Amino acid sequence: MSLKSQETIAANQKKVTFDVDRATFDAAVEKVYRKEVKRITVPGFRKGHAPRRMIEKMYGSGVFYEDAVNEIIPSAWESVFDEIEGTVVSRPEFDVETIDENGVTLTATFFVKPAVEIADYLGIPVERPIVKVTEEEIDEEIKRVQNRNSRMIEITDRPAQNEDLVNIDFEGFVDGTPFDGGKADGHQLKLGSGQFIPGFEDQVIGHSIGDEFDVNVTFPADYHEASLAGKEAVFKCKLNGIKFNELPEVDDEFARDVSEFDTLAEYREDIKKNLTEDHKKRADNAMDEKLIDALISKLEADIPECMFEAETENEVRDYDNRLRMNGLDLKTYFQYTGLDLDGLRKQMRPGAERQVKTRLALERIAEKEELAVTDEEIDAEYARLAEQFGMDTERIHEAVDKDSVAADLKVKKAIELVREKAAVTEVEDKAEETEAAQENADAE
């Protein structure tokens, strides 16, 4: 097997021609014959026992050629792959040019990674948001911990109040007539949650266990059930029970119960430190997103469509894997969302394009800056991957080749260099704006 020629036939599209010797091809034909003969009937021979020459005489000398070519293509392509100039980025399309006494001549057409240029990537001006931790944020975090450590208690000695969880029976009437979906027994309702029609929950407040009472409301004009929209209704209700989510007192004892600290002041200081670190990470990610936007705008490359399509498929597969980790799959997801595979691809496409352009830009920067990685860095990355995926290091070595690991590390070094050399201006920002930038980065 040998490479005869390679040529560029269009932008980033190449065509190579390569030979397979006759002996290799004949062996493939014989292999196909032995597999297919079991299904071929030739008069005068038992099924599956007809000689190859008789089958070829009956059906033509090339009866097994197509399958034989498909048999040899993988090994033939592998044998010439390393001689190809450029990085193949698409599935090749194979054609048979000739089959004769010398063997088979094949062609493969495919796309290669485009030539890339980028300039002015060092010293990019960028703003880095600085978000200060507020006392309100610390209070919100303590409130979340309070809720996690709360206990539900039965209330028997007072009327229902806002924030109570009540158990009620109710039946709704419009113009004195019950309507579908307006009746329930033993319904649990958090007062103040806004779960029911506006005004309903307010009229439950103040009633005691065992009370039977009417709740008068008007359905919203845009209510989802058109027959009830804008209508006045009466709900006949009975209050069966009241529960209250009792929160622990926020004091030194609370701090000792929920943390490793002895005092509330120490606990609050630790929360502040953790929130500060979280804000810093979010600010760094927000800045990185702006730097990547700048790099993409400076990128000069004629990128083949197949690269965007391949990355989109990768994004879809990754999303499917994440769903499966949560007990779902794409089929179920489509049922819930009304999307289909093409719709999901359309959603994933912008992020895929961004990922391809980012990778090309950073690879070119790594090349121009002659960034290198050491064996120690590669070993450390293998160890990190093994820990991340809960696998033995040997299995990670088998699953991910060394060149791929080295390439990924160079890309990481490239973005670190861009970040290090950026002209950073720190600006005060609101936490929600930084969080929005983080959510955009996560989505991509």
pLDDT digits (tens, 9 = 90+) for 358-367: 999 999 999 9
Is residue 66, in this structure, part of any structural domain at all? Answer: yes
If pLDDT is split at 50, 70 and 90, which confidence band does 439 have?
low
Which residue's entry shows tokens 């080749």? 401
Whether the Cβ atoms of residue 28 and residue 68 lie closer than 8 Å to each other? yes
What's the CATH code of the domain at 191? 3.10.50.40
Model pLDDT for residues 5-38, shown as the tens digit of each residue: 999 999 899 999 999 999 999 999 999 999 988 8
Residue that is last in its domain, among 60, 91, 112 = 112
74 and 198 part of one domain: no
pLDDT single digits (tens) 243-253: 998 899 999 99
Same domain, 186 and 321: no
Residue 1 pLDDT grade (very low, low, confident, very high; cuts 50, 70, 90): confident
Whether residues 204 and 276 share a domain: the answer is no
Same domain, 299 and 389: yes
Lowest-confidence segment of 71-80, 155-164, 423-432 by average pLDDT: 423-432
pLDDT confidence tier of residue 437, bands split at 50, 70 and 90: low
- Return the amino acid letter for 73: I
CA 354 to chain centre: 14
Contact between 312 and 320 (Cβ < 8 Å): no
Residue 430 above 70 pLDDT? no
Is residue 25 situated within a structural domain? yes
Both tokens assigned to 409: 């590390």
For the cut 90, the answer to whether the pLDDT of residue 47 exceeds it is no
In the predicted structure, residue 429 carries a pLDDT above the cut 90: no
pLDDT at 436 over 60: no
To the question of pTM greater than 0.85 for the whole model, the response is: no
- CATH assignment at residue 312: 1.10.3120
- Tokens coding 157: 């000695």
Residues 144-148: what's their mean pLDDT? 93
Q: Is residue 136 part of a domain?
A: no
Last residue of a domain, one of 213, 246, 279: 246
In this structure, the answer to whether residues 241 and 359 fall within a common structural domain is no
Mean pLDDT for the stretch of residues 339-348: 94
Residue/partner pairs of 182-190 with CB below 8 Å, 24 or more apart: 182/233, 182/235, 186/240, 189/165, 190/163, 190/164, 190/165
Q: Which of 57, 89, 112 is the last residue of a domain?
A: 112
Could you tell me the two tokens for 347? 């959603």
DSSP state of 170: E
* pLDDT value, residue 45: 85
d(CA 88, CA 92): 9
- Lowest mean pLDDT, pick from 32-46, 170-184, 251-265, 351-365: 32-46
- Residue 185 domain boundaries: 151-246
Q: Output b/e per residue, 389-426; b: 16+ Cβ within 10 A.
A: eeeeeeebbeeeeeeebbebbbbbbbbebbbeebeeee
Do residues 426 and 308 share a domain? Answer: yes
pLDDT at 393: 85
Place 440 in a pLDDT band, splitting at 50, 70 and 90.
low
In this prediction, residue 337 carries a pLDDT of: 86
For the stretch 209-219, pLDDT in tens is: 999 999 999 99
Which residues touch 435 (CB under 8 Å, ≥6 apart)?
Answer: 282
Query: Residues 301, 232: one domain?
Result: no
Alpha-helical (H) ranges within 82-190 are: 135-148
Q: Domain check: are 158 and 103 in the same one? A: no
Domain count across the chain? 3
CATH of the domain at 66: 3.30.70.1050
User: What CA–CA distances, in Å, run from 288 to 60, 231, 294, 351, 438?
Assistant: 64, 53, 10, 15, 10
Say if residue 411 is in the same domain as residue 306: yes
Specify whether the CB–CB gap between 131 and 429 falls below 8 A: yes
Q: Are residues 162 and 222 in the same domain?
A: yes
d(CA 181, CA 166): 20
Task: Kindly give, in sequence order, each residue whose CB lies less than 8 Å from that of residue 247, ignoring residues fewer than 6 positions away.
Answer: 146, 147, 149, 150
Determine the Cα–Cα distance for residues 403 and 113; give it in Å rounded to an integer.
17
**Strand 423-428 with 125-130, pairing:** parallel
Kindly calculate the radius of gyration of the chain based on its CA atoms and give it in whole angstroms.
34
Return the SS3 of 23: helix
Is residue 124 assigned to a domain? no
Whether 259 is covered by a domain: the verdict is no
CB contact at 8 A, 424 and 283: no
pLDDT of residue 131: 86
Rounded Cα gap, residues 434 and 428, in angstroms: 10
**pLDDT tens per residue, range 251-304:** 999 999 999 999 999 999 999 999 999 999 999 999 999 999 999 999 999 999
